[in-house]
Amino acid sequence: MRPIVLALLLLALAPAAAPAANDPRRGEQWNLDLIESDAAHATATGTGAVIAVVDTGVAAGHPDLAGQILPGHDFVQDDDTPQDGNGHGSHVSGIAVAATGNGVGISSVAPGAKLLPVRVLADDGSGTSEDVAAGIDWARTHGAQVINLSLGSEVPIVGAMGGDEIDAAIRRALGAGLVVVAAAGNNGVPVCEQPAAAEGLLCVGAVDKRKQRSFFSSFGSGLGVVAPGGSSLPAAGEDILSTVPPDGYEEIAGTSQAAPHVAGVAALLVGKGLTGQAAVKRILDTATDLGPSGDDAEYGHGLVNARAAVAGLGSGSGGSGGPSGGSGGTAVKPFVHVKRRQAALRRGVRVRLRTAKAGRVRIRVRSHGRTIARKLRTVPAGRARTVVARLNKRGRRMARRPGALRARVLVRLPGESRDRVRRIRIVG
């Protein structure tokens, strides 16, 4: 079983224009203004569509989520109560389907759609590729029409998360006519950090409120579109506001937050009868062009546009949706990766990589001028590998101290003379 650690990206958010209905915090959702979701709701709200969020579960009692939730499944504890003890899955879910017009909290992209929560990651964000694949298969066979995958390896350098099991499960979902939306990854590398099932997979990068690529967002090969993901700047109003457990709201940044905007637009299209690859093509064709004219490495086909996507498909899909489960996250600020203390102590720091040349990979994790973990490993060329650097005695002592531990992950690939650097934050 190959472990997968969720890279959580959580940050901050500010007032936007034109609050929808009577949701008191809609004015803070600049992200919905950016994709023109309110204008889209005159034509479609996603009624009849089902979005599966394969993640850490959902806060089932959240007042902005509870009425949106269908019976789901928990592959971590093997039961039918996918309760979110992490917050990531709930935050992602609220972006897509939070109730609109209920006088509580926020609005969402597809408030008429229903949420199918599938828990494949534990409260510390860890899980296995087998569980993720099983969760995708379960969603496919339990009514999902759109699957959202805001997942990723912890510190990928190049290449994809997950491996053959997840790749095969995504292919089965695509073959069954589902829309599969996945986060591009938060490592700023020039490749969509998702499985090789790129054919038909809708990979989503992140932009900030200024429509600039978020510094952390991966891009380039395999990128389909971009969506609001925040800037991770240490100021309110920069990131994405959504639901967190048990009944709160937080601002968070990441491609994890960008993906459910696109999943929500896919649900709007499904509600109007456009499914599978037809919906994917519509999203690509109606995206707002950014950067160089046409499809480009920074922004793919452009910024997803909910209004343009549903234009001309008929009016009034009706339904405003209700509440559903929500959950929160950890503030990341300028850091791209967040790792839970207990997961770091038990499992060390995991680096997902693919190298052009065979040879030895050197990994060092440094904090406050000290090396707290290191690993040398020989890897083959062209194949994704996870290399684990376990904390040494000093690292374990530092990780146990109160407060967050900030560290740099230095990775030297075969044939390269310089380290590639990623930053992480270990929190309680």
Catalytic residue among 23, 33, 38, 55: 55
Whether pTM exceeds 0.85: no
What is the C-alpha to C-alpha distance for residues 178 and 185, in angstroms, rounded to an integer? 21
Give the pLDDT confidence of 226-272 residue by residue, as tens digits.
Answer: 999 999 998 999 999 999 999 999 999 999 999 999 999 999 999 99
More confident position, 165 or 119: 119
Give the pLDDT confidence of 328-374 residue by residue, as tens digits.
Answer: 222 222 223 556 788 888 888 888 777 778 889 899 999 998 999 99
Give the pLDDT confidence of 270-317 residue by residue, as tens digits.
Answer: 999 999 999 999 999 999 999 999 899 999 999 999 999 999 987 544
Give the pLDDT confidence of 171-184 residue by residue, as tens digits.
Answer: 999 999 999 999 99
For residue 341, how many other CB atoms are within 10 A of its CB? Answer: 16
> What confidence score (pLDDT) does residue 328 get?
27
Query: What is the domain partition of the chain in residue ranges?
Result: 3-324, 337-427
> What confidence score (pLDDT) does residue 196 get?
56
Catalytic residue among 41, 88, 261, 337: 88
> What confidence score (pLDDT) does residue 19 get?
40
In the structure encoding, which two tokens stand for residue 168, read together? 């095969």
Average pLDDT in the 139-154 region? 88
- pLDDT cut 70: percent of the chain above it: 85
The mean of the pLDDT values for the chain is 85
Give the pLDDT confidence of 222-238 residue by residue, as tens digits.
Answer: 899 999 999 999 899 99
Identify the architecture of domain 3-324 in CATH: 3-Layer(aba) Sandwich (3.40)
User: Does residue 218 have a pLDDT over 60?
Assistant: yes
Among 14-23, 30-39, 73-82, 208-217, name the one with the lowest average pLDDT.
14-23
Q: Is 117 exposed, middle or buried (0-12, 13-18, 19+ CB in 10 A)?
A: buried
Q: Is 375 helix (H, G, I), strand (E, B) or coil?
A: strand
Among 82-86, 106-110, 158-162, 368-372, name the one with the lowest average pLDDT.
158-162
> What confidence score (pLDDT) does residue 402 get?
87
Half-sphere exposure of 172 (CA within 13 A, CB side): 16
More confident position, 20 or 31: 31
**DSSP string of 26-94?**
GGG-HHHHHHTHHHHTTT---TT-EEEEEES-B-TT-TTEETTBPP-EETTTTBS--B-SSSHHHHHHH
> What confidence score (pLDDT) does residue 202 get?
96
> What confidence score (pLDDT) does residue 32 get?
98
What is the C-alpha to C-alpha distance for residues 393 and 419, in angstroms, rounded to an integer? 24
Q: Do β-strands 202-207 and 223-228 pair in parallel, antiparallel, or remain unpaired?
A: parallel
> What confidence score (pLDDT) does residue 195 get?
63
User: Does residue 98 have a pLDDT over 70?
Assistant: yes
User: What Rg do the C-alpha atoms of the chain give, in angstroms?
Assistant: 20
**For the chain, how long is the longest CA-to-CA vector?**
64
Is 256 among the catalytic positions? yes
Is 129 among the catalytic positions? no
Contact criterion met (CB below 8 Å) for 134 and 127: no
Catalytic residue among 107, 217, 256, 327: 256
Identify the architecture of domain 337-427 in CATH: Sandwich (2.60)
415 torsion bin: left (phi>0), alpha (psi -120 to 50), beta (else): left
Q: Is 415 exposed, middle or buried (0-12, 13-18, 19+ CB in 10 A)?
A: exposed
In the structure encoding, which two tokens stand for residue 337, read together? 């990766």
Q: How far, in Å, are 67, 276, 422 from residue 268 at the CA level?
A: 18, 12, 37
Tell me, yes or no, if the two domains 3-324 and 337-427 fold the same way. no
User: Does residue 22 have a pLDDT over 80?
Assistant: yes
Is 88 among the catalytic positions? yes
What burial letters (b/e) apply to 277-296, b meaning 16+ CB within 10 Å?
Answer: eebbebbbebbbebbeeebb
- Nearby residues of 298 by Cβ (< 8 Å), 6 or more positions away: 213, 219, 290, 291, 292
